Amino acid sequence: MNKAYKFRIYPNKEQQVLLAKTFGCVRLVYNYYLDKKINLYKDSETSISYTNCAKDMAQLKHTDDYVFLTEVDSVALQQSLRHLDTAFKNFFSNPKIGFPKFKSKHKNKKSYATVCVNNNTSIENGCIKLPKVGLVKLKQHRQIPSDYVIKSATVSQTPSGKYYVSVLFEYENQVQITKPQTFIGLDFSMHELYVDNNGNEPAYPRYYRQAEQKLAREQHKLSKMQKGSNNRNKQRIKIAKLHEKVANQRKDFLHKQSKQIANAYDCVCIEDLDMKAMSQCLNFGKSVADNGWGMFTTFLKYKLEDLGKQLIKIDKWFPSSKMCSNCGNIKDNLQLSDRVYHCERCGITLNRDYNASINIRNQGIFINC
C-alpha cells in the first residue's frame, strides 16, 4: 500500500533559486516534447514513445542551447516525460479528458516530482534530503512509522510563495477488513454539506461566502495596479493568501467531519454525484465548489479504508429523493424547490434531504448484503 504525507519546507535563498530552475526546466521539457509529438504526427502520422523521448533528452542536454538542463535533477525531467506519456494515454482512453495542453509559466501552479533512487531522498533530523537541492528544513508535524519506505517526493510552491513536499511511502497493509455492523446514509446538501439518516447536519460555515466580499475588494484593487509593478505583486500575494486561508479552513473542516464519521460507523453510504455537471447545469458553481463534497468523499474513503471499513456509492440515478422512506412509493415528479417530501400513499411528511438519506442508507445495506 502507498500513503503520502505533505510537509512544509523552508529552503534557503540558494535552494529557492535551484527549485525555481527545476520548476522551469520541468515545464520546458514537457512543452518541448509535447510540441515534438504534435509536429511528428502532423508530418508523418507517427508517434514517439517515452523511451525515445528520454534518449533524445539525454542528447539534448549536451547541446549549447539546453546545457542548463544538467543543473537540475535528471529524475525530475524524466518524470515530466512520464507525466506527458500518461496525459496522452488518458486522452486516448477517454477523449473527454481533453488533449494534453502546454504548461504556462504564468500559471501559479509550480511543482516537480522525483523518485527515490539509491537513498537520494530521506528525512533526517528535521530536514529532508532532495536530489541536487540537498538538506532542506522540514516542518514534520507527524511521526512516520519505521517500516515505511520512501518511494517518491513531489515539491510544490503555492501562489503565496510557500513551499511544500509530498512524500510517498510504501508499507505493508495489515488492516483487517471487518463485516459492517453500523451503517449511515449521507445525502448531499447545498447549504449544510450533508444530511444523515439521523437528521444531523454539520452546519458547514461556507468559508468562501464569508470571505467573498473581502476578496472582491482586494481583487478590485489589483485590477487598478500597473502590470509588472512591485505593488501589484504584493497585492497578488495578499489575494493568494486569502484564497489559501479559505482552502485551509475548508480542508480542516472536511478532515474533522470525515474523521468523526469514519470512527463512528463501519459503512458509509453516499450517492455517486457528478458535482461538475451539477454546478454547471444548475448555476450553483460557487456554492458547490465552496462545499467541497468531492474532497469530503475522498477524505472519507481513505479514512475508512485505513480502518478496514467501507464506503458504498449509490448509483446517481437511484430515486433517493422521489422515493418514500416509509412505504417505498416513488413520486412521478419532484421539483428542486420542493424542500419537504409528502407521500400521498402513507401520508408521511419529512424533510426532503432527510428522507433521501434514509433511502441511501437502506440501499447501501441492500448492496452490502
Type of residue found at 192: E
Which positions ≥6 away from 242 have C-beta within 8 Å?
211, 214, 215, 218
Quick one: cell of 349? 411528511
Closest by CA to 292, choosing from 234, 236, 209, is 209
Spot the catalytic one: 196, 266, 290, 353.
353
Q: Work out the average pLDDT over 96-113.
A: 89
The DSSP bridge pattern shows strands 134-139 and 340-342 to be unpaired
pTM of the model: 0.86
Rounded percentage of the chain residues whose pLDDT exceeds 90:
63
The Cα–Cα gap between 85 and 227 comes to 36
Residue 28 has pLDDT above 70, yes or no: yes
Spot the catalytic one: 73, 187, 196, 266.
187
The Cα–Cα gap between 88 and 40 comes to 14
Rounded percentage of the chain residues whose pLDDT exceeds 70:
99
Residue that wins the pLDDT comparison between 194 and 332: 194
Q: What is the pLDDT of residues 314-361, one digit of tens each?
A: 988 888 888 888 888 888 788 877 888 888 888 888 888 899 999 999
- Which of the residue ranges 40-49, 159-168, 280-289 would you say has the lowest mean pLDDT? 280-289
Residue 56 has pLDDT above 70, yes or no: yes
Predicted confidence at residue 341, as pLDDT, reads 86
Query: CA geometry: angle at 98 spanning 96 and 99, to 5°?
Result: 145
Q: What is the pLDDT of residues 282-313, one digit of tens each?
A: 667 777 778 888 899 999 999 999 899 999 99
Q: Which residues pair with 4 in a beta bridge?
A: 168
Predicted confidence at residue 265, as pLDDT, reads 94
Closest by CA to 133, choosing from 6, 16, 8, is 16
353 given a catalytic annotation: yes
Closest by CA to 250, choosing from 305, 285, 289, 286, is 289
Residue 96 has pLDDT above 90, yes or no: no
66 sits in which H/E element: none
The Cα–Cα gap between 195 and 355 comes to 9
Q: What is the pLDDT of residues 120-157, one digit of tens each?
A: 999 988 999 999 999 999 999 989 988 899 999 999 99
Q: What is the pLDDT of residues 200-217, one digit of tens each?
A: 999 888 899 999 999 999
Q: What is the DSSP string of 83-114?
A: HHHHHHHHHHH-GGG-------TTSS-EEEEE
Predicted confidence at residue 223, as pLDDT, reads 94
Spot the catalytic one: 73, 85, 196, 271.
271
Residue that wins the pLDDT comparison between 321 and 38: 38
**Helix, coil or strand: residue 268:** strand
Predicted confidence at residue 282, as pLDDT, reads 66
Predicted confidence at residue 24, as pLDDT, reads 95
Give the confidence band of 240 by pLDDT, cuts at 50, 70, 90.
Answer: very high
Closest by CA to 5, choosing from 133, 191, 171, 249, is 171
CA-to-CA separations, 20 to 8, 23, 69, in angstroms, rounded: 17, 5, 13
Quick one: cell of 280? 454547471
Coarse DSSP helix, strand, coil percentages of the chain, rounded to the nearest 5 percent: 45, 20, 35
Quick one: cell of 302? 481513505
The DSSP bridge pattern shows strands 183-189 and 193-196 to be antiparallel
Phi and psi torsions of 7, nearest 5°:
-125, 150
Q: What is the mean pLDDT of the chain?
A: 90
Predicted confidence at residue 69, as pLDDT, reads 94
List alpha helices for 282-351, DSSP H: 285-291, 293-306
Phi and psi torsions of 168, nearest 5°:
-95, 125
Give the confidence band of 218 by pLDDT, cuts at 50, 70, 90.
Answer: very high
231 sits in which H/E element: helix 230-264
